[in-house]
Amino acid sequence: MTDSVLLVTGGGSGIGRAVALLAAKSGFRVAVLARSADSVRGVADEASRLGAPKAVGIACDVTSEEAVVAAFDVAEERLGPLSALFANAGIEQPRLAHELSLEMWNAVIATNLTGTFLTCRQALRCMLKSGRRGSLVLCSSPASFAAFSGGGASSYSASKGGISSLMRTLAVDYAKYGIRVNAVVPGATDTPLTWAGLSRDQKDALRRTLSEEIPLGRLADPEEPAEAVLWLLSEQARYVTGSHLVCDGGILAKASISA
């Protein structure tokens, strides 16, 4: 994998960080992107300690077209031609639709959906320019397929549904160039996004509720969806494109009726 260059957006924490570190251990050269310069520098340092041939942290807001183009330029200059992308940066603004401001809606769509488009577009441009085969993994969610019974996920669900549709279209459009495009579907995962804005008591209560509801009886560790991402990026998945790899502890397999 030492000639494989992976760029991870939202790599400063959670699932993105886990993917960057697992990829580093597997020999990828890794570019880690997020808005916080400190967090991406920290993860790039960890990746280097784990043996990444080269790792770089780049502060980048994926909602900015200019910032995304500039970040890919820096990544390729430092690491070589890109061969893999994990388009993962995401936020959530839980609020019932009638209480959701246009500003909040726009923030979620801009980060999750437009940010994914901008990073995929730049990755495709890089791969077409270098003539390399490549692999893109997008980050979807069970919210792309079913409503959360907790409620209030309208902007998040719309953004993730868009990501799933974008993934299928890109997979078909770029198959002829040898570029594969898939999506991972992490279930409830133990990351800062899951616990954002909750007090300790609320967090404990949510962990209990989720553990009762999830068929496998617990949240995922970030390394678990990360392993699914690494598989999608690998040669073992060479005939897989346009697919969702669900890593959700059984959430989507279960109807939430108590009858």
Ligand X SMILES: NC(=O)c1ccc[n+]([C@@H]2O[C@H](COP(=O)([O-])OP(=O)(O)OC[C@H]3O[C@@H](n4cnc5c(N)ncnc54)[C@H](OP(=O)(O)O)[C@@H]3O)[C@@H](O)[C@H]2O)c1
**C-alpha–C-alpha distance, residues 225 and 90, integer Å:** 15
Q: Does residue 75 interact with ligand X by CB under 6 A?
A: no
Catalytic option among 156, 174, 177, 239: 156
Q: Does residue 192 interact with ligand X by CB under 6 A?
A: yes
Positive or negative, the CA dihedral 100, 106, 107, 113 is positive
**C-alpha–C-alpha distance, residues 58 and 9, integer Å:** 10
Which amino acid is it at 62?
V
Binding residue (CB under 6 A) for ligand X from 21, 26, 28, 39: 39
Which residue stretch of 49-57, 96-104, 174-182, 188-196 sits at the interface with ligand X (rule: CB under 6 A)? 188-196
Which amino acid is it at 14?
G
Q: Closest approach of Cβ 119 to ligand X, in Å?
A: 9
Which residue stretch of 21-29, 74-82, 128-136, 184-192 sits at the interface with ligand X (rule: CB under 6 A)? 184-192
Which residue stretch of 6-14, 69-77, 202-210, 238-246 sits at the interface with ligand X (rule: CB under 6 A)? 6-14
**C-alpha–C-alpha distance, residues 69 and 217, integer Å:** 42
* 55: helix, strand or coil: strand
**Backbone torsions φ then ψ of 254, nearest 5 degrees:** -110, 125
Binding residue (CB under 6 A) for ligand X from 7, 8, 171, 188: 188
CA-based nearest residue to 8, from 133, 167, 123, 109: 123
Q: Closest approach of Cβ 241 to ligand X, in Å?
A: 20
Rg (CA), the chain: 18
**Is residue 156 annotated as a catalytic residue, yes or no?**
yes
**Backbone torsions φ then ψ of 31, nearest 5 degrees:** -110, 125
Interface size with ligand X, residues (CB under 6 A)? 30
Which of 20, 179 has the CB closer to ligand X? 20
Neighbours of 92 (CB within 10 A): 20
Written as one string, the DSSP assignment of 233-246 is: HSGGGTT--S-EEE
Which residue stretch of 19-27, 85-93, 96-104, 168-176 sits at the interface with ligand X (rule: CB under 6 A)? 85-93
Binding residue (CB under 6 A) for ligand X from 6, 8, 34, 171: 34
What does the per-residue mask of binding to ligand X show for 91-120, with x meaning CB under 6 A? x-------------------x---x-----
Positive or negative, the CA dihedral 232, 236, 48, 128 is negative
Q: Does residue 157 interact with ligand X by CB under 6 A?
A: no
Residues annotated as catalytic are 156
Q: Which residues bind ligand X (CB under 6 A)?
A: 9-10, 12-16, 34-36, 39, 60-63, 88-91, 111, 115, 139, 141, 186, 188-189, 191-194
